[in-house]
């Protein structure tokens, strides 16, 4: 399936490119016709830095960010994002005047949790949630609920790609929108035209990558 991959460059920065693979793919909540591969953005220093710079530009210095919660393996981007926000004058209320960068854990039931040693970086903190992509918004919604459960105050959501503009009145800032991928389609599992046409699912995908079937 990698042989079908094409690159889509960000309208705001031609150093940022998504690798798009067409096909029939399953996420946790839906079926999609395009798999968006962000591996290089999350693992290459130069690309991660460009992504972070583009995301940081979407925040003004009135926002306070104490902690960045990284999902989908976005920790490298999160480190650069913290640096860019600090350079831009974004305030942190932490005692050390610096931004925490953390990731959650998932228990055996698939629930998102923060261990006791990490909870101080969430409780009472101004949180920025960083994710690779947002399709239906269900995963992000659960993440927001978890952060709020542990006492965090969500100030915003940042994503490389998002098919939605906001989730539960929280704005989603992203580099790529659905309009930048005009052929992108997201289907309810019970309404997927590929399934109705008996076209097999090629891979199970999420923010971390894919597993071929």
Phi and psi, residue 59, nearest 5°: -120, 145
Ordered by start, the domain boundaries in the chain are 2-212
Q: Which residue has the tokens 């920025």?
A: 128
Mean pLDDT of the chain: 93
Q: Which CATH code of 2.40.50.140, 3.40.50.2020, 2.60.40.1250, 3.40.50.1440 fits the domain covering 2-212?
A: 3.40.50.2020
Pairing of strands 166-167, 170-177: antiparallel
pLDDT tops 80 at residue 2: no
Rounded distance, CA 180 to CA 11, Å? Answer: 8
Instruction: Please report the pLDDT score of residue 200 as a whole number.
Output: 96
Instruction: Please report the pLDDT score of residue 157 as a whole number.
Output: 96
Full-model pTM:
0.90
């Amino acid at each position: 399936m990698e042989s079908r991959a094409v690159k889509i460059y960000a309208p705001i920065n031609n150093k940022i490119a998504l690798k798009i693979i067409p096909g029939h793919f399953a996420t946790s909540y839906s079926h999609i016709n395009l798999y968006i591969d962000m591996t290089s953005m999350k693992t290459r220093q130069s690309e991660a830095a460009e992504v972070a710079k583009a995301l940081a530009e979407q925040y003004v210095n009135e926002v306070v960010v104490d902690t960045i919660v990284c999902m989908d393996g976005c920790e490298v981007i999160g480190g650069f994002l913290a640096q860019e926000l600090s350079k831009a004058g974004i305030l942190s209320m932490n005692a050390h005047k610096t931004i925490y960068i953390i990731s959650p854990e998932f228990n055996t039931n698939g629930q998102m949790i923060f261990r006791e040693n990490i909870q101080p970086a969430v409780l009472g903190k101004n949180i920025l949630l960083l994710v690779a992509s947002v399709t239906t918004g269900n995963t992000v919604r659960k993440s927001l609920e978890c952060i709020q459960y542990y006492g965090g105050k969500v100030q915003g959501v940042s994503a490389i790609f998002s098919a939605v503009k906001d989730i539960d009145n929280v704005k989603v800032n992203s580099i790529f929108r659905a309009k930048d991928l005009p052929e992108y389609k997201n289907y309810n599992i019970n309404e997927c035209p590929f399934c109705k046409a008996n076209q097999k699912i090629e891979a199970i995908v999420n923010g971390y990558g894919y597993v071929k079937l």
